[in-house]
Chain A
């Protein structure tokens, strides 16, 4: 059982990395990956929200959605959006320092496709409570890893002598392609 959970975590983090393999959460990946410090903070905020989302999705799947499967998408998005709002208000009240640290990243996460993607994948694969948690943790760590790797490369690229033509999104996408290629190496890890 515990090895199953570990495999789910590793699979979500490396083999089927959310950003580099499933193309989820590309907005922050392209937008906030210019500096390592911001990338790390964004990653932390993502892990936090992903974990909560997984809990909520497990709850909805167990108690609400068997009665009304056609409401799946609508209930997921509404519950996730309002939950992030509540979490944001709680953090603001309890720890203003942390709130300032996370800044605009927290509310932005609501519109991040990785969050809704996690809830949907978790449902499609029939994950229970614990498997869902492992999946969320793996996905969050994977996102953070991809963000930090990307930010490190971009910090170096700032100093490099790149032709004017290649500067901008084209370069970022090509770097992402190479990273994705590198991550395909993890496909060699197979289910125990």
Chain B
């Protein structure tokens, strides 16, 4: 179990949380590139940290829904990080979580109303899950662990990186589920009319199964990569000893 004891634990152990020692300079020991790339892949919010699972499982039955949800979350995360980082010195420590939630809720309301006005169909399909972005632990986690302790530029980079990572995971889930469950991508038929769709993939169990199988595949891949490292390292040593002989 990778630190998924409970939500508070998740927020506390979110990446960046361990670097908040007073000895470190503001901006930490990481470079801007690391701040950006970390969230995209190495510490992907959904696939590695298992945060924000509720939307990742609930609305990924088509690519269009996944993309809309990903973009809405990206907007809320970036906006909140920007605002939290700007006002970090004005927010009292005792009420910081409540203040973060208020800021997040404001951005979610904006996203909710914008989607309802611009793409009413998708807004209807996503339903209450837009409003539920407020309680996405990923967003609160980034505010608590990173944006409230870093300069604005770094907080923005981190938010954009994490947001991208979230979009990547959402679209990945959405593509697999729509392709297998409906035989199409973004509504365009891929396999032709003779394909028998796996209905289960676009139903709720499909969400659990898809993510479960993705995680198993990643675990297998990482295990293989870890096993490869010592073999590569042994090579030069062997060559060196042969040369010596």
Q: Which of B10, B53, B223 is in CB contact (< 8 Å) with A165?
A: B223
Of A1-9, A86-94, A132-140, A175-183, the stretch lying at the interface with chain B is A175-183
A116→B208 contact, CB < 8 A: no
Given the contacts A77-B105, A78-B98, A116 and B131 also touching, CB distance less than 8 Å: yes
Closest to B55 in A: A23
A113→B204 contact, CB < 8 A: no
Q: Which of B6, B112, B127, B208 is in CB contact (< 8 Å) with A173?
A: B208
Closest to A31 in B: B6
B109→A173 contact, CB < 8 A: no
Chain B 1-16: CB-based contact to A (< 8 A → 1; otherwise 0): 1101111111000000
Within the assembled complex, what's the spacing in Å between the Cα atoms of A132 and B51? 29
Of A43-51, A59-67, A117-125, the stretch lying at the interface with chain B is A117-125
Q: Does A55 contact B (CB under 8 A)?
A: no
Q: Within residues 134 to 165 of chain B, which ones have a CB less than 8 A from any CB in chain A?
A: 134-137, 140
Which residues of the partner chain B approach A70 to less than 8 Å between Cβ atoms? 109, 113
Q: Which of B7, B9, B50, B205 is in CB contact (< 8 Å) with A112?
A: B7
Given the contacts A77-B134, A168-B219, A20 and B6 also touching, CB distance less than 8 Å: no
A121→B140 contact, CB < 8 A: no
Query: How many residues from B make CB contacts under 8 Å with A?
Result: 48
Q: Does A98 contact B (CB under 8 A)?
A: no
- The number of inter-chain residue pairs (CB within 8 angstroms) is 133
Chain B 195-211: CB-based contact to A (< 8 A → 1; otherwise 0): 00000100111111101
Within the assembled complex, what's the spacing in Å between the Cα atoms of A153 and B103? 40
Min C-beta distance of A27 to chain B, whole Å = 5
Given the contacts A120-B131, A174-B212, A108 and B108 also touching, CB distance less than 8 Å: no
Q: Does A41 contact B (CB under 8 A)?
A: no
Q: Which of A81, A112, A165 is in CB contact (< 8 Å) with B98?
A: A81
Q: Which of A24, A104, A107, A169 is in CB contact (< 8 Å) with B1?
A: A169
Which residues of the partner chain A approach B10 to less than 8 Å between Cβ atoms? 27
B135→A169 contact, CB < 8 A: no
B127→A30 contact, CB < 8 A: no
Within the assembled complex, what's the spacing in Å between the Cα atoms of A104 and B7? 11
Given the contacts A28-B6, A31-B6, A112 and B112 also touching, CB distance less than 8 Å: no
Which residues of B are in contact with A by a Cβ distance under 8 Å? Answer: 1-2, 4-10, 50, 53-54, 57-58, 98, 101-102, 105-106, 108-109, 112-113, 127-128, 131-132, 134-137, 140, 200, 203-209, 211-213, 215-216, 219-220, 223
25 contacts between A and B (CB under 8 A): A23-B57, A24-B54, A24-B132, A27-B6, A31-B9, A32-B6, A74-B105, A77-B101, A81-B101, A104-B8, A113-B54, A116-B131, A116-B135, A120-B131, A165-B216, A165-B220, A166-B216, A168-B215, A170-B212, A173-B208, A173-B212, A174-B212, A176-B208, A177-B205, A177-B209
